[in-house]
Structure 1
Amino acid sequence: MAICRSGLFHLLVALVLSNTIATSNANVEGDALFALRRAVKDPQGVLQSWDPTLVDPCTWFHVTCDADNRVTRLDLGNGKLSGNLVPELGKIERLQYLELYMNNLAGQIPKELGQLKSLVSLDLYHNNLTGPIPPSLSRLSNLKFLRLNGNKLTGKIPRELTKLGNLKILDVSNNDLCGTIPTAGSFSKFSEESFMNNPRLEGPELMGFVRYDVGDCK
């Protein structure tokens, strides 16, 4: 009987710990998403269901979760959102799809997005994002789609991004990037369409040769 009671006790402890961890993860991810809601203007009310008093963000519209109630997808494309991205997004550990394209988002891309090790698709195209492309995105080893086109990004294309061996689609066109185009690693397979309409950007894909005397590039 003592053995049975001991086994039951350990089972109950395991269940309590499991529920505690699940609740903790939901709180962290819910807090991260609500930080985004606070940082943006939402004229169409697409984030209206994002209620911070609800423990589980999986009940919110435009949020998809897995069987463990962990957030895996955020679909907010073409939502007319304006404001800034927030570093808290980097805490959504199992996020695979971050879809924020065709909004009016401004400011810089948070370097914390490089913590999203499960990310498969990062779609931030057609916004008003400024500043550099964070080199930290090179940590996204599962990334297949990186679309940053149609923003106001500046600076060099980080050479670290050539380490993204799974990258299938890259589009950084229609920005204000400068310097030369990396050609190593995964970048060897991308055509000039991936880089076009960056007036200060030079490289073999666009010019037929590499220039090293590009001067200041910011």
Structure 2
Amino acid sequence: MPLEQQTALLRVIQEKKIARIGCDKMIPVSVRLICATNKNLLKEVEKGTFRQDLFYRLNVMSITIPPLRNRIEDIPLLFRYFLEKISRDRAMQFSTEPEVMEWLKKYNWPGNVRELQNVVERAASLAENDTITLRHLPVDFYAPSFYSASPPAAPAADLLNCREQRRMLAQDAEKHKILSLLNLHAGNVSQVARELGVSRKTLYNKMRVYAIRN
């Protein structure tokens, strides 16, 4: 939060009044503030990026929530909560293979709860026959660097499916880029090849593979 906004917020807390944008009339307010941050505000105060007086005004009661990777026992609860919400919204009933939860518990969750929610929504959207399996997890789940412990062994078929999915996404992106450049340069293959950093022959080969007609 910029320092000028911190000053404005501090004034509201102290005076318990606000003014609408473009209006000088002050309006009394009675509110309780609940604030959240992923930064150490004491360090921000020391660096001069957060006002000390505002910090003490806000820090009446503080609750520290550990990152999701340190709350493994919460992962199944949150997973079921998000999945049940999706089930109600879509009027569907989902089931989950046991191996999925094993991978979820091993994952490092750099994006915390929001990332878990995103993973659940993605898996529910991809699930065939309303059953969530390992192949419905993002490709990041197959990268060892994203694990707080050794990742569980995935079935070979699921790993192959993941690699195939990644290959198809890369091909779709390349095809889209070629089409966009051809449209931008009015079908000038030489210009497109130069921009892509490939030879005309290579570009023609790719166009043939992707069934692109010029």
Q: Please state which band the TM-score falls in when normalised by the shorter chain.
A: under 0.3
**More strand as a share of residues:** 1
Find the structure with the greater CA-based Rg.
2
Taking structure 2 as the reference length, the TM-score comes to 0.27
